[in-house]
């Protein structure tokens, strides 16, 4: 199993977000593997972003 050494407090650019009914996968531009969204906080234009309540990311609301 390959290990990915992400750094705490490091900012990463997101390639895409895939939100399902029971999971949310985060794909980073620098890596071609999905990460669980629970490991990240999100920002847009230096403001906190809640991807779970934003219709751009959550098509279930």
pLDDT digits (tens, 9 = 90+) for 7-46: 998 999 999 999 999 999 999 998 889 999 999 999 999 9
Q: How many domains does the chain have?
A: 1
Report the pLDDT value the prediction gives residue 4, as an integer from 0 to 100: 84
Range of the domain at 37: 1-56
Mapped onto helix, strand or coil, the DSSP state of residue 28 is strand
Residue 61 belongs to a domain: no
* pLDDT value of residue 56: 95
Q: How confident is the model at residue 2 (pLDDT cuts 50, 70, 90)?
A: confident
pLDDT for position 1: 67
In a domain, 34, yes or no: yes
Question: Does the pLDDT value for residue 57 go beyond 70?
Answer: yes
Q: Residue 47: its pLDDT value, please?
A: 97
Is the Cα dihedral 47, 48, 53, 55 positive or negative?
positive
36 falls within a domain: yes
């Amino acid at each position: 199993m390959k290990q990915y050494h992400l750094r705490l407090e490091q900012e990463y650019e997101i390639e895409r977000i895939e939100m399902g009914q029971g999971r949310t996968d985060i794909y980073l531009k620098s890596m071609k593997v999905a990460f669980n969204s629970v490991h990240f906080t999100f920002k847009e234009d230096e403001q906190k972003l809640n991807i779970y309540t934003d219709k751009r990311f959550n098509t279930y609301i």
